[in-house]
Amino acid sequence: MVDALLELAGAFERSEVGREQALDSGDLERERGITITSKPTALVYQGTRINMVDTPGHADFGGEVERVLNMVDGVLLLVDAVEGPMPQTRFVTEKAIKRGLPVLLMVNKIDRAAAAPHKAVDLTFDLLVSLGASESQLDFPVMFGSGRERYSMKDPAGERGSIAEILDMIIAHVPPPEVDVTGPPAMWVSTLHHDPYIGFLAIGRVSGGRFAAGQRVALMRPAPLESPEGTEALCTEVFRVTKVLGFSGLRRFELPEATAGDIVAVAGMETLQVGDTLTAEQPELRTVFPALTVDPPTLSIRMRTNDGPFSGLEGQWVTSRKLRERLYREVRSNVALHVYDTDSPDEFEVHGRGELHLSVLIETMRREGYEMCVARPKVILREEHGRTLEPFERVLVQADTEYAGAVIEHVGKHGELLTMEEDGPGRTRMEFRAPTRALIGYRSEFLTQTRGTGIISSVFDSYGPFTGVIKTRTQGVMIVLERGETSTYSLNRLQDRGPLLAGPQTKVYGGQIVGIHARDSDIIVNPNIAKKQTNIRTSGHDEKQFLTPPRVFSLEQSLAFIADDELVEITPKSLRLRKRQLDHNERKRSEKRQVETVDD
């Protein structure tokens, strides 16, 4: 939809016309088909400059939405004509409703089969009512259309009109920014970027005054939320603005100055983090915005340096110092991410919003050349009034009716089925409330259960009573005895014991996991034995050996598969599963100590 609006306003250059998801510029965004980071852009339509911020729809990246809402004066809500408002729509919309922003509804993809545009409008209205929207917010304008086909209309039964009607709706219903052009300069840093040539870029909306190249500006850092009441903001530096950049389409361009109401990028500072304030150099004229507040994370992982035998063979950055620098650099811009040091200097605890949030961070670091080992994700528990609480999620499932039973059996085992209704011919729509622990790694299994026809999405709902132990894996694993290279001869004998995770001619080391044991116990195997050469030539002695192709886990599947005493070794080229303790004797002693502790 953003592509269509930018193309209509002529914001694209000739070579950029026709690109899909043009603002999703990252490799991961294009591969996964989702928006991960918020991106500002602008267009000029009929003499009016319209600033837009494209935000992620997935709840795991809700921190990207929360930090940019201070830059906008209205929300254009895109709702699928078939699926209606999804759980993550609720999360994003709730933040806008609390800020009192006007909501404009665009029912997209009305050309899809089984589209029900009027039902989507009714469901959106019910959603806004449940979120406590005001009378003015409930009286929202509605447009129907298709971003891909480049048309819109006020009535889905009417004739197709130009996509420009959406821009007319924005100009008519979104108020201009309330800013003070004559006041001292002030800008709340909503996002940041680091350019190798320019340095830090502070991106936000100018709320007062003007910013120009050569102007001296103070960088103020508000007191953290956990600091004692009365703690004053800190002036981290006073710097000279080197560049002021505006946005248009996919490009940044240099501006002589930016006035109140503009969304711009300002360069020149030595240090920066999201939530800072750029303001006047004179102390008496300074404006300091409050610290940025975002919802707390619900999931944590332990990340440590790669201490395996193959450490440093594939990656560029392997030391704990480099790993720590990278994680704390991410915290500057990723406001929903928290990083903590642990008792071990080689291990760090990372808190995030969900599986996808954390896996995107890991995959990004992997592509940058980092090596690391990651433990199984765990939910962040709370203690209130002597009770242990855990996070619950609201899960929306759309699947063929014949597969609904399998989904209900799995999710309903630990969660609660809230609603179940028909969703078109042969389709069922179900809503659950389930603990986050029960959903870790379930998405890949869900696709198998529904034969690829199902759609599942979830969003954090609330904290609830701890539901007890959830058994995640009923099978043991095959652990490599010693370092070597796997052979077809050995793997052929091992595949009778369970599915393999490694193929022939693969380098392995002691403590690595190469297969799934059919029973619930771990076994130590040697996949490196080669067939001995003899002079015997008998009928049937040299039978051809056939190996079942090994299972190949994605990053998310690997994190969900491992047990608490196992790790995923992540390098730029490989994903390996391994035991935390590689030495077999040391691992046995550790298990024995744990059993003795439980008995005591």
Angle between the 404-414 and 442-449 helix axes, to the nearest 10 degrees?
150
Closest by CA position to 318, among listed 372, 389, 374: 372
pLDDT digits (tens, 9 = 90+) for 100-149: 899 999 998 888 887 888 999 999 999 899 888 899 999 999 999 888 88
pLDDT higher than 70, residue 269: yes
CA 486, 492, 493, 495 torsion-angle sign: positive
pLDDT higher than 60, residue 540: no
Class of domain 186-285: mainly beta
Taking residue 354's Cβ as centre, other Cβ atoms within 10 Å add up to 25
The domain locations on the chain are: 2-173, 186-285, 382-465, 477-532+541-599
- What's the chain's average pLDDT? 86
Surface-to-core class of residue 376, CB atoms within 10 Å of its CB (0-12 exposed, 13-18 middle, 19+ buried): buried
pLDDT higher than 70, residue 475: yes
pLDDT digits (tens, 9 = 90+) for 152-203: 888 888 888 888 888 899 999 998 888 888 889 999 998 888 888 888 899 9
Q: CB within 8 A of 337, min separation 6: which ones?
A: 63, 297, 330, 331, 350, 351, 352, 357, 361
pLDDT digits (tens, 9 = 90+) for 1-21: 777 777 776 655 555 555 555
Specify the CATH number for 2-173; select among 3.40.50.2000, 2.60.40.10, 3.40.50.300, 3.40.640.10. 3.40.50.300
Coil, strand or helix at 427: strand
Rounded Cα gap, residues 172 and 429, in angstroms = 36
Torsion of CA 121, 125, 130, 133, to 10 degrees: 140
**Percent with pLDDT over 90 in the chain:** 34
382 close to 463: Cβ distance less than 8 angstroms: yes
The phi, psi pair for 377, rounded to 5°, reads -65, 145
Q: Which fold has domain 382-465?
A: Alpha-Beta Plaits (3.30.70)
Q: Count the residues in the chain.
A: 600
pLDDT digits (tens, 9 = 90+) for 560-585: 899 889 999 999 999 999 999 999 88
CATH number of 477-532+541-599: 2.40.50.250
CA 586, 592, 595, 599 torsion-angle sign: negative
